[in-house]
């Protein structure tokens, strides 16, 4: 359970300790311990990725932004550019890993149960089961959640936040940690722009307000628009 975002058993700890007046200090200590442990596993993952010369991307978003559809389209159109492996994170089911495997690419599903994010320890175990090809690409699809995954380094080179145009354009302001932690924002479902009220300029301004350096690319997993730019962005960073 995630003590960092305050859900699950942290609340129990809070109730339990309330009468002793030490709840806040204890919560902060648990949070620090969890993140320190995670940082150790993330460093180990990063060392392994360096060894196999693999570029790892951590895809984060709220549920339903189209992360899996984007990965399927990216693999289908540009999969020949790099050896690809995928780690899928969801609370339940292996549906997303099955969608990835249908493209012919290896995929491992992690089910977090009640957990609201992947952590570096889980990702390390999933990496044990993957053959990471030299100069390859590891795509990690995190649990759909714009809060907790921001705090957990998985050992990736970059976080890629996906925001779809069916969501609110003010999400970067509401969930600033995630947009501050990401190097790229993919504005997905761009093919729907003529049919929805979504102010692209306002959204881009909001994202840049929390992260002036963030790169923004409108894309569509459905029409394929914008994906060449994203594939080129990956190629420019892929070890090789
Ligand atoms: Mg998915």
**pLDDT higher than 50, residue 221:** yes
The span from the CA of 216 to the CA of 230, in Å, is: 10
Is position 206 within any domain?
yes
User: For residue 214, is it within any domain?
Assistant: yes
* CB under 8 A, 24+ apart: contacts of 102-105: 102/72, 103/72, 103/75, 103/76, 103/79, 104/79, 105/75, 105/79
Q: How far is the CA of 220 from the centre of ligand 1 (A)?
A: 15
pLDDT in tens, 175-193: 999 999 999 999 999 999 9
CA of 62 to the centre of ligand 1 (A): 10
The total domain count for the chain is 1
In the structure, what pLDDT confidence band is assigned to residue 4 with cuts at 50, 70 and 90? confident
- The model's pTM is 0.92
CA of 16 to the centre of ligand 1 (A): 36
Grouping H, G, I as helix, E, B as strand and the rest as coil, residue 156 is coil
Mean pLDDT of 6-13: 44
* Residue 140 alpha carbon to ligand 1 centre in Å: 10
- Distance in Å, CA 96 to ligand 1 centroid: 6
Q: Which domain holds residue 44?
A: 21-237
CA of 39 to the centre of ligand 1 (A): 25
Whether 173 is covered by a domain: the verdict is yes
pLDDT digits (tens, 9 = 90+) for 113-145: 999 999 999 999 999 999 998 889 999 999 999
**Cβ(193)–Cβ(163) under 8 Å?**
no
In the chain, % of residues over pLDDT 70: 91
Residue 150 is assigned to a structural domain of this protein: yes
Cα 143 to ligand 1 centroid, rounded to whole Å:
8
Q: What is the CATH number of the domain that holds 87?
A: 3.40.50.300
User: How large is the average pLDDT for residues 47-61?
Assistant: 97
Q: Are 76 and 228 in contact (CB under 8 A)?
A: no
The answer to the question of residue 115 being in a domain is: yes
- Asked if the model's pLDDT at residue 7 lies above 80, the reply is no
Residue 16 falls within a domain, yes or no? Answer: no
Q: Does residue 8 fall inside a structural domain?
A: no
Residue 6 forms part of a structural domain: no
- The CA 66 to ligand 1 mean position distance, Å, reads 7
- Per-residue pLDDT tens for 73-110? 999 999 999 999 999 999 999 999 999 999 999 999 99
């Amino acid at each position: 359970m995630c003590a960092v975002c305050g859900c699950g058993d942290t609340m129990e700890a809070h109730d339990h300790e309330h009468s002793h007046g030490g709840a806040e200090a204890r919560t902060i200590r648990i949070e620090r311990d969890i993140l320190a442990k995670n940082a150790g596993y993330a460093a180990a993952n990063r060392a392994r990725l360096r060894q196999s010369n693999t570029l790892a991307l951590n895809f984060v978003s709220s549920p339903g932004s189209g992360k899996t559809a984007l990965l399927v389209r990216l693999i289908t159109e540009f999969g020949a550019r790099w050896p690809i492996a995928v780690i899928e994170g969801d609370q339940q089911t292996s549906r997303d890993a099955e969608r990835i495997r249908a493209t012919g690419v290896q995929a491992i599903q992690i089910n977090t149960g009640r957990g609201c994010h992947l952590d570096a320890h889980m990702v390390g175990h999933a990496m044990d089961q993957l053959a990471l090809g030299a100069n390859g690409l590891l795509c990690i699809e995190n649990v759909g959640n714009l809060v907790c995954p921001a705090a957990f380094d998985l050992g990736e080179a970059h976080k890629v936040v996906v925001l779809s145009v069916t969501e609110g354009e003010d999400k970067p302001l509401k969930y600033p940690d995630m947009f501050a932690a990401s190097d790229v924002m993919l504005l997905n479902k761009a093919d729907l722009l003529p049919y929805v009220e979504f102010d692209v300029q306002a959204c881009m301004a909001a994202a840049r307000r929390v992260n002036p350096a963030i790169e923004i690319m409108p894309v569509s997993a459905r029409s394929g628009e914008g994906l060449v730019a994203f594939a080129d962005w990956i190629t420019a960073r892929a070890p090789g």
